[in-house]
Structure 1
């Protein structure tokens, strides 16, 4: 089996799923991926196994299905992120150097203005990964990256307007300011509030969009056991 071919196919299918080109609930097969992406069967199977580990596809009988957008899962991911990121920001307040924090501030400044939804999703994700990285714990970074992958198909709902993108940027900036002041309690509370408020708005908007999304052919469920 070609490791390179498997990696390339995995990235192609992953991008198609995250961009909603391949929609939630869509059926997949190894043979279908062969035809669509010009891959052989063994790399197709390996790529699907990797995507299953990411939570982006799941087994459906003898085949595969793109995982539905699961509102219950989104809420659970927010709880997990809060636990990880609050702990990480407290460690960052102790461990990050002044230069580290200045670099995070520069990353924020370079992302402004956040002109599009795509920019908002990308810059927001980059910020959270870099923020957690300042804790100096690779497992925390990997956990947050995994959470952001799970949320990638829906985070665009949170950054649809310039006002929403500006509000997110301002919240990120406040977190950095608290860290630069070495105020761990305030930084932790700002992270907690940011994650909770962002999740609440996302779930509210997603719930309101369930029917339109279903009309577009996207499968949206309330929890992992819903039909």
Structure 2
């Protein structure tokens, strides 16, 4: 990989991370000059990053207006989460059937890391970046035994789209959840090779998140009035 490719990959990763974390909010204009200054990069890497993110659905190109961060909506959230239940269900079913001792060890280690840190930072106003990373690792470890790169790629895209919604809901003070308990139950059912229980725990986990996000989106609309 040459220097141009390396810089392009860096800008892409930084811009993608800012969108997923909510630092660049839904509908925010992505002006090339501002992005060049933000990421200390030239125009070419910035354009390449924007085009990649448009293909992934995180950025929208409007005629005569340029790029902006993709909007969020109730309809998109529910479509996304319903699809996640189905896709992750297939991946989890395959992982339980095909995952070996390395899969089991990886899932145990991922849960241990996730349970070792607090979810919130800065008095609960934002998520702990370490927890966010460990959370992604846990859910990937859960399905990694499925041995299907294609299925894992689809699942990862859906997961990242969902994480953007979650990042936007941090300030919403909803029901307090037992995050450790939910993830432990999901892990234990999977390690016990209890397919139906694991699928039920995964569906409940996603549905609880969707319910909180529904309330957060509604609260955001009320605050915007």
TM-score over 0.5 (shorter chain): yes
1:46 Cα offset (Å)? 1.0
Give the Å deviation of 1:160.
7.0
Show the counterpart of 1:43.
Answer: 45
Verify the 8 A CA contact 1:158 1:201 in the aligned structure 2. no
Shift in Å at residue 158 of structure 1?
6.6
- Structure number with the bigger relative contact order (C-alpha 8 A, sep ≥ 6) is 1
Could you list the runs of 5+ residues in structure 2 that have no partner in the other structure?
121-126
| Offset, 1:23 | 2.3
8 Å CA contact retained: 1:82, 1:191: yes
Aligned residues, how many?
213
| Greater Cα shift, 79-88 or 7-16 | 7-16
> The residue matched to 2:161 in structure 1 has which SS?
helix
2:166 pairs with 132, 137, 155, which one? 155
Structure 2 residue matching 1:153: 3-state secondary structure: helix
Determine which of 56, 59, 62 is the counterpart of 1:57. 59
CA contact 1:89–1:132 (8 Å) conserved in 2: yes
Deviations 1:164-191 (A, max 9, x none): 45x2221221122112222112112221
> 2:215 corresponds to which residue?
204
Match of 1:129 in 2: 140
| 1:84 corresponds to | 87
CA-CA distance at 1:120 after TM superposition: 4.2
Unaligned runs of 5+ in 1: 216-227
Shift in Å, 1:71: 2.5
The alignment's TM-score, normalised by the length of structure 2, stands at 0.82
